[in-house]
Amino acid sequence: MKPLNTNVYSHTFSSIFVKFAVCFLLLGLAYRLFSSSVLQFSPVVVPTDLAFDEDKEALPPNLPVSSSDLSVNHTPKTEKCNVFVGNWVQDLTGPFYTNATCSSIEGHQNCMRNGRPDTDYVYWRWKPRDCNLPKFDAKRFLNMMRGKSLAFIGDSIMRNHVQSLLCMLSQVEQAVGVYHDEQYKSRRWVFPSHRLTLSVVWSPFLTKASVFEDSDGVSSGIIQLHLDELDATWTDQYENFDYVVVAGGQWFLKSAIYYENGKIVGCHSCQGKNITQVGFYYAYRKALNTTLKFITSSKHKAYTFFRTMTPDHFKNGEWNTGGYCNRTRPFQEGEIDINDIDGMMRKIELEEFERASTIGKEKGLTLKLFDTTLVSLLRPDGHPGVYRQFHPYPGKDKHLKLQNDCLHWCLPGPIDSWNDLMMEMLVNG
């Protein structure tokens, strides 16, 4: 009998061992890949009681919200994204509020109550091109602003924005009115349980102005505008504000005589007067420059949003010459260009902001560009139009010549997305 070949058995054993080791390694690798996949794509749940701890102190007035207070849906700070470049996309979830759930809507913007027949304009949301924009979270916003003061300084578009914000916040807590001027143009509210003070300060030129108009905008005299002297209505209160939103706008298109150092330096559209026509671009730049110099030189470092101008959508005329707006859907990016006047005003805004931003950085001031121009330009369908008044067409006569509002926004409406943008800027800085 031949002796057993032990080398064969040794070789066979080695082969089996190697195969077993390889299988084990492959199984381990598969498990690791599966585990990392689960970890990567599983949703993160933030418990409500942790995310909105009402006993936590709010942030200092001049700092943005910490990234640790961030919802997982917000764009990470490491991503480069301009949230003001994008398109409006359909959102079938509908508005955050309605005229039935918010009592803060001014009559001229209450399009639902006033009988506007279409409702498609409330089923859109702003979608930045390169990132996600979370919807406004009223509870989170109130907690971020706990114990703070937020002021909106400017014209009736600012008032429009404040009403939108009030409606959105009222779904969590009702504001209590504590002040208004005689014409209800400047107002103040408090949210008692969050100790938040919210103000709108009427200052359409930001600088000192004498205006001779009635409540319908009918003028009885030319405006006297001091370009180098700010309106004390807002500057006297400035140190009380932790956060401010400030903007110029359409009022600069009105006829006016301009002053500097107490002397007339020119005018805009002042026919019949022996005054040099310098145009409103000159005045707009001077007024914004004076405003931003005040903010950047102040010892009080308020967190400041500088909002760009809002285009109107009047067709075939202006508000007082038969202009109207009857489009029922948004434009898409590239379908409409900004007109020359609005484009020049925006150019001035960007130049003055850039100048002020450089100074602000050196002084530790937080100054943010709140660039709502494109966002607004694409929404001709969001204005009250003839529904600025209650049921404007008696019977079925729709051929009446009625005044349109193609500048302000229906509530609810496109301006609600400004609050999404403002919160994103606060959260992600």
Hunting for tokens 């009047």 — which residue is that?
314
Residue with the larger pLDDT of the pair 48 and 219: 219
Q: How many residues does the chain have?
A: 429
> Region 362-391: what's the mean pLDDT?
96
pLDDT given for residue 80 in this prediction? 72
Please give the share of the chain, as a percent, with pLDDT higher than 90: 73
pLDDT in tens, 266-304: 999 998 889 999 999 999 999 999 999 999 999 999 999
Q: Which helix (H) or strand (E) holds 146?
A: none
Coil/strand/helix, residue 223: strand
DSSP state of 152: E
> Region 305-313: what's the mean pLDDT?
97
Cis peptide bond prior to 392, omega within 30° of 0 = no
pLDDT given for residue 61 in this prediction? 38
Handedness of CA 276, 279, 285, 291 (dihedral sign): positive
- Distance from first CA to last CA of the chain, Å, rounded? 88
pLDDT in tens, 385-414: 999 999 998 776 667 778 999 999 999 999
Q: Band of the pLDDT at 216, cuts 50, 70, 90? A: low
Tell me which of 342, 408, 417, 420 is the catalytic residue: 408
| Stretch among 60-74, 111-125, 323-337 having the lowest mean pLDDT | 60-74
Nearest residue to 198 via CA among 137, 136, 248, 153: 153
pLDDT in tens, 118-152: 999 999 999 999 999 999 999 999 999 999 999 99
- Is 226 an active-site residue? no
Whole-number average pLDDT of the chain: 84
Tell me which of 104, 149, 156, 164 is the catalytic residue: 156
For 322-380, the DSSP string reads T-B----SPPPTTS----HHHHHHHHHHHHHHHHHHHHHHHTT--EEEE--HHHHHT-G
User: Which pair of structure tokens corresponds to residue 161?
Assistant: 């924005």
How many Å apart are CA 346 and CA 205, to the nearest integer? 16
Rounded to 5 degrees, φ, ψ at 191 are -110, 95
Q: Is 389 left (phi over 0), alpha (psi -120 to 50) or beta?
A: beta
Q: Which residues of 145-176 are buried (b: 16+ CB within 10 A; e: fewer)?
A: bbebbbbbbbbbbbbbbbbbbbbbbbebeebe
pLDDT given for residue 396 in this prediction? 60
pLDDT at 382 over 90: yes
How many Å apart are CA 158 and CA 409, to the nearest integer? 11
Nearest residue to 233 via CA among 222, 220, 242, 246: 246
Tell me which of 69, 137, 312, 405 is the catalytic residue: 405
